[in-house]
Amino acid sequence: MRAISWLAVPLLAAGALVAADELPRGAAGEAELARIREQISALDAQLDDLAVRAYGITGELEKVVLQRRLQERRLEEARAERELAELRAAEAAARVEVLERRLDDERDRLESRLAGLYRLGRHGTARLVFALAPRADPLPALRLLRYLARRDAATIERVEALRAGLDGERRELERRRDEAASWYAQQSARRDQLLRLEQRHQALLAGTRRDSARLAEQALDLADRETKLAALLDTLYGRSAAPLAGRPIQEFRGLLEWPVAGRIAAGFGPRLDARYKTRVPHHGVDLETAPGSEVEAVYPGRVVFSSSFEGYGPTVVLQHAGKVFTLYAGLATVSVRRDDLVSLRQPLGRAGSLLYFEIRVENRPEDPRRWIR
């Protein structure tokens, strides 16, 4: 019967040993989580700062990259939390297993003692008492038997309660382990999503840079065309020293007709691309026209240029009284020659899909819309 007396102390000692064995690893896991969460806080602060400064595709890409880096840290946090939860669940299961083995051993001992009493028969306890030495007091023996029985029962109850508590702890830790695994899967999916978003932004940025380079090249080409056209008009203006007879065209400002029916596709003045902020000089207007429409002189004058011009196609330039030039570029065909005198509304040729029309007064470009009624 003395074998049962060691049960409570070793069980508590075993639990203490298991818990003590857990502390170093658990403390290291907690420290790792704290370190990761500090890094997450720092990245969150950077992300908030970038949200204020971010602009355009480049800013969006920087934002996504930072979000992805932040998500990587969150994924590490989730991984550490998952590993810690798995460790704690495994250790709880090990503690329960040790306790169950000890409980089974104690049950075996108790069952052996109960079996011995059973073999003594229905009045076994009384027989044990009468088996005492003659004239011995039976009460101490009975009290001892009752104490041993109660101690056995109390020990079993304590062990059962401890095992129930450990079972509950194990179930709770397993639940947390499952939650940590689910959290890790969610964070991993979010990280993959941000990686794909980052790749799309990088591709978009690369495409944007290519478009920017192409548009910059186009802007340079347009600027070069404008420079060459301005040089041509400078030359024509310098060669036209003799003014034309007749009433100056300035007297009819606001009363002229468009050279061809159409819609203004691009107005007078430098053109600014809203997306790429490129600025290109534009000294006239672009008119969308029906191909084949007749292009007519807006005022009587003399043809000072009638030929194809680089970047503009077939082009006609008229000189008018009052030191004014009108220019018609982008024609499909031309029906006048240099030095021809043309009358008001006389056809100069056939339009393509887009006509460029310009008016210059003493070689200074003016908005044609101020001259047209």
pLDDT for 306-316, tens place per residue? 998 887 889 99
Helix (H, G, I), strand (E, B) or coil at 367: coil
Average pLDDT over residues 335-340: 94
Q: Is the C-alpha dihedral spanning 153, 158, 162, 165 positive or negative?
A: positive
Share above pLDDT 70 across residues of the chain, in percent, rounded to a whole number: 63
In a domain, 231, yes or no: no
Q: Cβ neighbours of residue 194 under 8 Å, at least 6 residues apart? A: 64, 67, 68, 71
Average pLDDT over residues 169-191: 80
In a domain, 228, yes or no: no
Q: Cβ neighbours of residue 300 under 8 Å, at least 6 residues apart? A: 246, 320, 321, 341, 342, 343, 344
The Cα angle at residue 257 between residues 331 and 336, in degrees rounded to 5: 35
Query: How many Å apart are CA 89 and CA 164, to the nearest integer?
Result: 15
- Which residue range is the domain that position 65 belongs to? 2-211
Altogether, the residues listed in the chain come to a count of 373
Is the model's pLDDT at 370 over the cut of 80?
yes
In a domain, 340, yes or no: yes
Query: How many Å apart are CA 367 and CA 19, to the nearest integer?
Result: 89
Query: How many Å apart are CA 279 and CA 274, to the nearest integer?
Result: 10
Q: Are residues 22 and 111 in the same domain?
A: yes
Q: Are residues 191 and 325 in the same domain?
A: no
Q: Are residues 185 and 311 in the same domain?
A: no
Query: How many Å apart are CA 190 and CA 137, to the nearest integer?
Result: 80
**CB contact at 8 A, 271 and 279:** yes
At 3, which amino acid appears? A
- Position 23 scores a pLDDT of 38
Q: Which two tokens stand for residue 94?
A: 């090990």
In a domain, 234, yes or no: no
Average pLDDT over residues 344-357: 95
Top-confidence residue, 135 or 372: 372
Pairing of the two strands 313-320 and 271-272: unpaired
pLDDT in tens, 76-121: 888 888 888 888 878 877 877 787 777 777 777 766 666 655 555 5
Query: How many Å apart are CA 344 and CA 301, to the nearest integer?
Result: 8
As a whole number of angstroms, the longest Cα–Cα distance in the chain is 163
Helix-, strand-, coil-residue percentages of the chain, each rounded to 5: 60, 15, 20
Question: What's the pTM value of the predicted model, to 2 decimals?
Answer: 0.45
Average pLDDT over residues 68-74: 83
Q: Are residues 73 and 194 in the same domain?
A: yes
Top-confidence residue, 81 or 235: 81
Q: Which of 164, 192, 211 is the last residue of a domain?
A: 211
Q: Are residues 356 and 303 in the same domain?
A: yes
Q: Are residues 158 and 27 in the same domain?
A: yes
- Position 33 scores a pLDDT of 65
Q: Which residues pair with 98 in a beta bridge?
A: none
How many domains is the chain partitioned into structurally?
Answer: 2
Weakest-pLDDT range from 55-64, 122-131, 332-341 = 122-131
Is the model's pLDDT at 57 over the cut of 70?
no
